[in-house]
């Protein structure tokens, strides 16, 4: 199923926490019936092809960026989210990251506003 994932000792390797979260989201959305694995493979390969056409050298360090692009495509094509809604959430995340002290977790409220550190 996930034969192209970066691995170490047979286990998926995540360089950043967000990569593990993106992986988990794809698994959960599949479990909820949003897409089949063949549909996912098509979306992921499409995201990789698009990135390579745009100059991505495919050194392995951008794999989960492709994963995230495929997730965004799936939720938009399945009408779970809109492109505009995703853009607003991304902007809110960047604002929250800028407002969060280094080393503290970045958090957004349900409304997309930054949650101040405790």
Distance between CA atoms of residues 115 and 109, nearest Å: 6
pLDDT of residue 17: 84
Residue showing tokens 């979260």: 21
Where is average pLDDT lowest: 7-21, 34-48, 50-64, 89-103?
A: 7-21
Is residue 12 pLDDT above 90, yes or no?
A: no
Q: Which residue has the higher pLDDT, 8 or 85?
A: 85
**Which residues make Cβ contacts (< 8 Å) with residue 28, sequence separation at least 6?**
none
Q: In sequence order, what DSSP letters do the residues of 52-96 get, joined into one string?
A: HHTT----STTHHHHHHHHHHHHHHHTTSS-HHHHHHHHHHHHHH
Residue showing tokens 């170490």: 8
Over the stretch 71-111, which tens digit does the pLDDT of each residue have? 999 999 999 999 999 998 888 888 888 888 888 888 887 66
pLDDT of residue 24: 94
pLDDT of residue 96: 84
């Amino acid at each position: 199923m996930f034969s192209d994932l970066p691995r170490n000792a047979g286990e998926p390797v995540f360089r950043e926490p967000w990569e593990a979260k993106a992986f988990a989201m794809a698994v959960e959305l599949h479990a909820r019936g949003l897409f089949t694995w063949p549909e996912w493979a098509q979306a992921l390969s499409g995201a990789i092809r698009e990135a390579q056409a745009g100059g991505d050298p495919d050194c392995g360090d951008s794999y989960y960026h492709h994963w995230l692009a495929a997730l965004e495509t799936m939720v938009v094509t399945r009408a779970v989210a809109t492109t505009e809604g995703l853009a607003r959430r991304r902007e809110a995340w960047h604002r929250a990251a800028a407002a969060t002290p280094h080393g503290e977790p970045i958090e957004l409220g349900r409304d997309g506003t930054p949650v101040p550190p405790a």
